[in-house]
């Protein structure tokens, strides 16, 4: 049993980590780091049997955890990841797990030097819609993939991290870029535009469009926004034998925010309702494709196996750093107005 402590109990710790650690085979929620009085009270109400600590140092010294998940604000993550590594703890770092590509590779080297496992929490590889598209592709149902379009719009202006070190590119951009690397492989060129807003904390990218060219020959087209008062999630994949289209909800997040927990009913957890199932278009006509299961807890189960067996985690630090390299190139492309090659 891998004992995991969670550092930070904002929306990430509360909604996207602790419920899925508790649901994962081979994992146990061993501690929570929280400081603010209200945050501590919330964590105790949610997890009455889990000890609460005022700092990562205190949790490590208590000896309750073999691994830690760091899900504090992005600017604080690097130092906490390094502290956990120095203490010999395995680490799961929320995205974006470092300021840039070089910062990510620095953390990768530190973990390897200490002999601990470091993974990046790219949980949206385990979204129902993405897993369904992955199966459509792997089953050869649209033939050779030419391109994928991904749109992730959220009506949540309150969650946009303001200022030059925040912005949507590092937030939702981390997800949609990682998803395309997961499906189509490494990226060799990036073209980007960003829509900027002036906030008290400084200029902030609030929307983006990205075109990624992948080494295997396919290309992907990604967009996202948080300030345009629209919730929409769409995936379109084109191949030489057909097309697949899905327009879904975010079923796992919706259920979590509604107070449900995956451990309460793992069998039925994470399926999109049939009204949101995707459609396959081929020469044979159209066909509705049933949803695969969305299982964020699969990430934690795979991480526990990696620690136990000494194998790579589901998303390695090097893979996470390569996603950061794409985001670095996207910002450079948007500022310079041209394509950036990697």
Beta bridge partners of 199: 202
At 251-280, the pLDDT tens digits run 999 999 999 999 999 999 999 999 999 999
Can you give the pLDDT at residue 249?
84
Q: Flag the least confident range among 110-119, 128-137, 153-162.
A: 153-162
Can you give the pLDDT at residue 46?
97
Nearest to 25 by CA among 301, 253, 330: 301
Can you give the pLDDT at residue 97?
87
| 164: confidence class by pLDDT, cuts 50, 70, 90 | confident
Q: How many contiguous H segments (helices) and E segments (strands) does the chain have?
A: 11, 15
Average pLDDT in the 186-212 region? 95
Cβ atoms 325, 50 nearer than 8 A: no
Q: Is the pLDDT of residue 99 over 90?
A: no
Phi-psi region of 50 (alpha: psi -120 to 50; beta: other; left: phi over 0): beta
Q: Is the pLDDT of residue 165 over 90?
A: no
In the chain, what percentage of residues exceed pLDDT 90?
94
Quick one: CATH architecture of 2-121? 3-Layer(aba) Sandwich (3.40)
At 17-37, the pLDDT tens digits run 999 999 999 999 999 999 999
Neighbouring C-beta atoms of residue 190, cutoff 10 Å: 24
Q: Is the pLDDT of residue 75 over 90?
A: no
Question: Which residue is listed with tokens 């309150």?
Answer: 158
- What element of type H or E holds 78? helix 74-86
Q: Is 98 helix (H, G, I), strand (E, B) or coil?
A: coil
Can you give the pLDDT at residue 18?
98
Q: Is the pLDDT of residue 250 over 90?
A: no
Residues 298 and 172: their CA atoms lie apart, in Å, by 21
For the chain, the domains span 2-121, 124-295+325-341
* The model's pTM: 0.95
Average pLDDT in the 137-149 region? 98
Residues 97 and 120: their CA atoms lie apart, in Å, by 7
Residues 35 and 28: their CA atoms lie apart, in Å, by 22
Q: What does DSSP say about strands 145-153 and 340-341: parallel, antiparallel, or unpaired?
A: unpaired
Q: What is the CATH number of domain 124-295+325-341?
A: 3.30.360.10
Average pLDDT score over the chain: 96
Q: Is the pLDDT of residue 245 over 90?
A: yes
| 163: confidence class by pLDDT, cuts 50, 70, 90 | confident
In the chain, what percentage of residues exceed pLDDT 70?
100
Question: Which residue is listed with tokens 């991904």?
Answer: 150
Contacts of 217 (CB under 8 A, 6+ apart): none
């Amino acid at each position: 049993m891998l004992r995991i402590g969670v550092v930070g109990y904002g929306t990430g710790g509360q909604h996207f980590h602790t419920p899925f650690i508790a649901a994962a085979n081979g994992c146990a929620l061993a501690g929570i780091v929280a400081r603010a009085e209200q945050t501590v009270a919330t964590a105790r109400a949610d997890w009455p049997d889990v000890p609460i600590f005022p700092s990562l140092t205190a949790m490590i010294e208590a000896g309750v955890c073999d691994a830690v998940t760091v899900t504090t604000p992005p600017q604080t993550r690097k130092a906490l990841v390094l502290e956990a590594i120095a203490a010999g703890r395995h680490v799961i770092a929320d995205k974006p797990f470092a300021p840039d590509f070089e910062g990510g590779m620095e953390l990768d080297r530190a973990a390897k030097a200490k002999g601990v496992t470091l993974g990046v929490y790219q949980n949206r590889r385990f979204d129902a819609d993405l897993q369904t598209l992955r199966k459509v592709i792997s089953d050869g149902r649209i033939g050779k993939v030419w391109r994928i379009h991904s749109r992730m719009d959220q009506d949540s202006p309150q969650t946009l991290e303001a200022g030059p070190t925040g912005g949507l590119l590092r937030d939702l951009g981390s997800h949609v870029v990682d998803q395309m690397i997961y499906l189509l492989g490494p990226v060799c060129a990036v073209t980007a535009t960003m829509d900027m807003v002036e906030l008290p904390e400084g200029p902030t990218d609030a929307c983006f469009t990205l075109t990624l060219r992948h080494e295997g020959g396919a290309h992907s087209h990604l967009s996202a926004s948080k300030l345009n008062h629209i919730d929409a999630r769409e995936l379109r994949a084109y191949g030489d034998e057909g097309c697949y289209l899905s327009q879904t909800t975010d079923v796992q997040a919706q259920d979590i925010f509604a107070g449900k927990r995956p451990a309460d009913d793992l069998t039925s957890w994470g399926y999109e309702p049939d009204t949101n199932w995707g459609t396959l278009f081929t020469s044979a006509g159209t066909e509705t494709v049933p949803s695969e299961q969305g299982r964020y807890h699969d990430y934690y189960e795979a991480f526990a196996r990696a620690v136990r067996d000494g194998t790579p985690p589901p998303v390695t630090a090097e893979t996470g750093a390569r996603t950061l390299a794409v985001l670095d190139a996207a910002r450079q492309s948007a500022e310079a107005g041209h394509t950036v090659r990697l």
